[in-house]
Structure 1
Amino acid sequence: MAESPPLPPLAVDIDGTLTDDRRRLDHRVPSLLRKWADAAPVVVATGKALPYPVALCEFLGIPTTVVAENGGAAYVERTDELRFVGDRRAAEAVAEEYAAAGHSLGWGEVDLPNRWRETELAVSREQPLEPLEGIAARHGLEVVDTGFAYHVKSPDVDKAKGLTAVADALGIEVESFAAIGDSANDVGMLERARISYAVANADEAAREAADHVTDGTYGDGFIEAAERIRAGVD
């Protein structure tokens, strides 16, 4: 019987990819990622602030190797390297101007989505987009709609650059990765990877950037993509 091909390093988004439509982690994810991490690096790449993917790796029982804030933050446990890029001051200025225009970030007084954010700003999708885009542009930033929030970020920062930093720390080529995602903020990562999948619920930008689109949505799509990658399907 022919041997299975070696597993490539894997970069995977969280919301909409490892979760269902209510952002609940698919029950099959922990065991699959643990087994994968035993054979090859697994990078959790998200738009969320750094504590979220760090905690996910901790509870999954895999090495903490993460890209957060759409590439603005990256951490590699193996080398104990933490990297931040982006213009947090400009993001804070956007928040102040947006508030002065009468708009809220939409997260309530505690504002957990931004409480530990270091390089960008997250705004609820229930808030008006047009004034946010105008204010962001005046401060040299862009707005990316991930389907879960509007992210105000530096235009030269994305998950591909975050993944490149992680790959460099691990001593591997970023082009050796397989990548799975669902949103516009995954586009750079999907394009840089050797092979990439967008789950069926992905937005148009991610679908166009990926090499393949799964039949299944959300967690089903992730499992489908992972199985095809393990089987060596290009």
Structure 2
Amino acid sequence: MTPIQQSLAVSGFVVGENGGMVWDTHAGFPIRALADGERTREAANWLASQIDGLDPAGIESNRWRETEWCLKEVDNYEAIREAIAGSQYNELSIVPTGFAIHICTPGLDKSTGVEFALEQRGIDPSRVIAVGDAANDIPMFELCGFAVAVNNEHDGVAEAADIITQQIGTSGTIEFLKQFIQAVEIP
């Protein structure tokens, strides 16, 4: 999580791994893993025995993941979802995000991690702006007071957002921030 914070040049809290990790050491809080990802890793290995060609190692950043596991096979979402649903791992959530398929601990999503971090800081979620681009952002959108979608190609994202930017990804975030700064400037 440190490289993320450094690359963004932020000093506030960072929530990662679909809400599973909360990093707020600048405010004196310990790094918190809100789940144990061992079962998600086991499920990835089991899936590799069920689906030809599936790589259980998944995406490169898995080597640092503690609370979830991500698979590269984004085109195999339905096969992965169906296999998990009919298995001993059926309590796990399967979440497609466009760049990976996340195998997640049940009850853990971005809203869980954001809510945990906000409670540590004593911040009311209704005063927070959430920015996201995929279905895994929807619970966070529902928690926060205002939601910005920087991509609307995933089901439900546009409907859950208060506004949708014209640009996507980082460019969409910059577009929103420019509009926001202009809207709150004091004449």
Q: Could you tell me which residue of structure 1 aligns to residue 62 of structure 2?
A: 114
Aligned to 1:83: 32
Q: What is the match of residue 42 of structure 2?
A: 93
Partner residue in 1 for 2:145: 194
| Rounded Cα–Cα distance in structure 1 between residues aligned with 2:78 and 2:49 | 15
Contact kept? 2:44, 2:56, Cα under 8 Å: no
- 1:123 equivalent in alignment to 2:74: no
2:84 and 2:103 mapped to 1: Cα distance? 7
Q: CA RMSD in A?
A: 2.2
For 1:38-49, what aligned pairs fall within 5 Å after superposition?
Answer: none
> SS of the residue aligned with 1:113?
helix
2:9 to 61, 65, 72: 61
1:154 is matched with 105
Larger deviation: 219-228 or 179-188?
219-228
Cross-structure match for 1:31: none
96, 100, 105: which one pairs with 2:55?
A: 105
1:226–1:122 Cα change, 3 Å: same
Q: Which structure's relative contact order is higher, taking Cα pairs within 8 Å and 6+ residues apart? A: 1
Q: In 2 relative to 1, CA 60–86 (structure 1 residues): closer, same or farther, beyond 3 Å?
A: closer
Q: CA 1:204 to 1:96, structure 2 compared with 1: closer, same or farther past 3 Å?
A: closer
**Superposition misfits of 4+ residues, deviation over 6 angstroms:** none
Q: Which deviates more from structure 2 when the two are superposed, residues 142-151 or residues 78-87?
A: 78-87
Deviation at 1:204, TM superposition (A): 2.9
Question: How many aligned residue pairs are there?
Answer: 178
Q: Distance in 1 between matches of 2:34 and 2:55?
A: 22
Q: Structure 2 vs 1, CA of residues 116 and 219 (structure 1 numbering), >3 Å: closer, same or farther?
A: closer
Whether contact under 8 Å (1:121, 1:151) holds in the other structure is yes
Shift of 1:88: 1.7
CA distance in 2, matches of 1:131, 1:202: 21
Q: Which runs of 5+ in 2 are unaligned?
A: none
Counterpart selection for 1:164 from 115, 123, 138: 115
Partners of 2:169 and 2:42 in 1: how far apart? 35
Point out the structure with the larger helix share.
Answer: 2
Amino acid at match of 1:182: D
CA distance, structure 2, for counterparts of residue 126 and residue 204 of structure 1: 15
TM-score by length of 2: 0.84
- Contact kept? 2:150, 2:164, Cα under 8 Å: yes
> 1:116 and 1:58 mapped to 2: Cα distance?
16
Bigger CA drift: 160-169 or 120-129?
A: 120-129
* Structure 1 unaligned residues grouped into runs of 5+: 1-50
